[in-house]
Amino acid sequence: MRNETAIAILQVDDDFEDANVLSRLLNGLDGQYTLDHACTLAEGLTRAETGNYQVIFTDLGLPDASGLEAIQRLNLACPEAAVIAHSGLGEEYLRIEALTQGADDFLSKHDLNAIALQRCVSENLHRSRLRENIRCLYHAVQEEKETVEAQAEKLALQATELAQQNRKLKKLCDSSQKFVNNVSHEFRTPLCVVKQYSSLLADGIVGDVNVEQKRMLQVIEDRVDDLNNMVDDMLDISRHESGMLAAAREHCQVAAVVERILPVLHQRAKLHAIEIQADLPADLPITYCDPEKVTRTLINLAINAIKFSPAGSTVHIRLQSEESAKQVRIAVQDQGPGIPSDQTQQIFKRFNRLHQAQAAPKTGFGLGLNIAEELVELNLGQISLESVVGEGSTFSFTVPVADWPEVLHRHLQRVAQDEQEQEASIQISVIRASLVQPLSDATCQQGPKEIQAFLNCLLFSKDLLLPIEDDVWLAVLTAGRSGAECFLERIGKETESVNRNRAQGALPELKLEDLGTVVGAENLDSLQQLLTRNAPALTCSAQKGTLCAI
């Protein structure tokens, strides 16, 4: 059994007398050595491949080797060992050629003695250790180089995203300036009305509060509502342009949303001697949208219809299911003067007003329809206008039904359109959130709704939250890797903040999984496949009004 602390030496030499000389000299040296002997190169290669030798002495005249072939082949078989050429020929040219072919040293048999042998073994062992250290350092440097290159690539990606963020910040700065301009431009009309009627009441021109005074106070209230709506519109413009106007989408019945705001619209219409009629079918499918955005859009369209309708007329609000398009349409029809065909596209632009004398006395602020269009797009729908001059106009908008492939398709179409407009590749990351533990019966209804509302609050305007099961959500983020990491950090920080102030205790624990990132609109099919692997298809049953998985 070989001593593990001894220096293992292999001698490849077909001359047994030379082998015995080397063995006797090694036995006389200080230190522990083990010597194995091979008579041919083939036997030496076999031993070198299976043994753990530190030094190999090889003769240059082996019967099965040609010239200096032994040096090269032994180096390949045992690269960690020091290969020493050992020859009876002491010519200098042979020494140089052996070293050139890869030998670590050359030792002539004629000059062989204990001192020369010990010096040769010691020096070559030291050289081998240095070579091994250099090899380890080289591999360490290569690994460090790869790490640095990976970090450099990550930094370059972050620099690109930072440049995009800087452009957004510049846009936000410009939007803030526009917001100030909007305020100064649009506050004049409602403030003037408030001031005039307040002045009339204060001066006692009307006298004691009577029916007429009550009507005037209602007018003041009406105009103050206009002012509040305008402030909301301008704030929405600023948030939308900065990417902060997000949609808190959820499953909802559009008919119920409309019913909640009908009393407000009836009161508003009554001041103008106009009737509101609503057609709300009971069998509409469940939609997936932000009900607050639907409310804001409908109020804007209904108020416009009331303003431009003559006294004694009727404003119709109709809901209709469009099964082939997987959407519900909400329409507001008035009996006003109508809109010329050459103005139907311009009317949705900011600060655009009708160029009609008959419309001038009741002109709007120029923001309502623009905001309505943006809110509809945020809800993944479309707004449209049909009008006949002299007969009236019908403004309508759509919201998607609660079918996750359809909702995702509309969202990705919007992302692709943004990419085309910005002329830059957009990155999309997907985060899967699920409850770690099932909820108890007492919280199984409220818990998921609270979690969905919590996640919606963390999204930006170009993000999408998909509830694919009762306790599983997919967050489709229009962001790269750094954006996805920031989203996960926001969830952690906001969870801690909510838990500190939540009376019912901590929020249900979430398991968060990063499903990956795709770059560019050309890879949206890959994203669709990615989500398909991680979500069941959700459809909405119009008859029962419930969600089911396919």
CATH number, position 91: 3.40.50.2300
Same domain for 504 and 363 = no
Which of 112, 130, 155 lies at the terminal end of a domain, its last residue? 112
Reported as a pLDDT band with limits 50, 70 and 90, residue 237 is low
- Whether pLDDT at 181 is above 70: no
* 95 shares a domain with 39: yes
Hey, what are 372's tokens? 């309505």
Q: Determine how many CB atoms are found less than 10 A away from the CB of residue 518.
A: 20
Residue 179 binned pLDDT confidence (cut-offs 50, 70, 90):
low
Residues 361 and 420 in one domain: no
Pairing state of beta strands 392-400 and 427-435?
A: unpaired
For residue 153, being part of any structural domain is answered with: no
Cβ within 8 Å of residue 29, ≥6 positions away: 114, 117, 118, 121
The Cα-based distances of 500 to 290, 452, 491, 496 in angstroms read 28, 19, 14, 6
- Cα separation of 289 and 463, whole Å? 13
In a domain, residue 331? The reply is yes
Question: The CATH number of the domain where 372 resides is what?
Answer: 3.30.565.10
152 part of a folded domain: no
Instruction: Specify whether 412 is located in the same domain as 476.
Output: yes
pLDDT given for residue 213 in this prediction: 72
Identify the domain boundary among 60, 95, 112: 112
Q: Measured between alpha carbons, how far is 187 from 230 in angstroms, rounded to an integer?
A: 8
Angle (CA) 334-340-345 rounded to 5° is 95
Shared domain for 372 and 424, answered yes or no, is no
Same domain, 417 and 461: yes
Judge whether 481 and 157 are in contact, CB under 8 Å. Answer: yes
pLDDT of residue 540: 33
Q: Is residue 66 part of a domain?
A: yes
Per-residue model confidence (pLDDT) at position 200: 72
Cα distance between residue 475 and residue 515, in whole Å: 10
CA distance 236 to 515: 32
Average pLDDT over residues 47-58: 85
Number of independent structural domains in the chain: 3
Between 369 and 364, the more confident residue is 369
Q: Are residues 377 and 412 in the same domain?
A: no
- Nearest CA to 481 out of 425, 416, 412, 429 is that of 429
Does residue 392 share a domain with residue 457? Answer: no
For residue 395, pLDDT over 90 is answered with yes
In which band, very low, low, confident or very high, does the pLDDT at 236 lie, cut at 50, 70 and 90?
Answer: low
Q: Does residue 282 belong to any structural domain of this protein?
A: yes
Residue 37 covered by a domain: yes
pLDDT in tens, 249-297: 999 999 999 999 998 899 889 888 999 999 999 899 999 999 999 998 9
pLDDT band at 64 (very low <50, low <70, confident <90, very high): confident
Task: Please check whether residues 388 and 506 belong to one and the same domain.
Answer: no
Residue that finishes a domain, picked among 378, 402, 426: 402
CATH number for position 469? 3.30.70.270
Which is nearest to 128 in space by CA: 107, 108, 111, 105?
105
Within this chain, do residues 534 and 503 fall inside the same structural domain, yes or no? Answer: yes
Question: Rounded to the nearest 5 degrees, what angle is found at the Cα of 351, between the Cα atoms of 345 and 355?
Answer: 65
Using CA atoms, how far residue 443 sits from 176, 432, 505, in Å, is 42, 21, 12
Per-residue tokens: 477: 């983020």
Cα of 58 vs its chain's centroid, Å: 63
- Annotate 421-469 with three-state secondary structure: HHCCCCEEEEEEEEECCCCCCCCCCHHHHHHHHHHHCCCCCCCEEEEEE
Residue 534 has pLDDT above 60, yes or no: no
Task: Print the domain residue range for 296.
Answer: 250-402
87 vs 242, more confident = 87
User: In angstroms, rounded to a whole number, what is the distance separating the alpha carbons of residues 318 and 315?
Assistant: 10
- From CA 322, how far away is CA 320, in angstroms rounded? 6
Q: How far is CA 70 from its chain centroid?
A: 60
**Order of strands across the sheet with 275-279?**
275-279, 314-322, 327-333, 392-400, 383-388
Q: What span, in angstroms and rounded, lies between the C-alpha atoms of 301 and 497?
A: 38
Tell whether 389 and 411 lie within a shared domain.
no
Judgement on whether residues 511 and 455 belong to the same structural domain of the protein = yes
Question: How many CB atoms are closer than 10 A to CB 326?
Answer: 21
Q: Contact, 53 vs 81, CB < 8 A?
A: yes
Least Cα distance to 469 among 374, 372, 404 occurs for: 404
Residue 489 has pLDDT above 70, yes or no: yes
Tens digit of each residue's pLDDT (9 = 90 or more) over 404-448: 888 988 998 888 887 777 777 788 888 999 888 876 654 555 678
Residue 472 in any domain: the answer is yes
Q: Is residue 187 part of a domain?
A: no
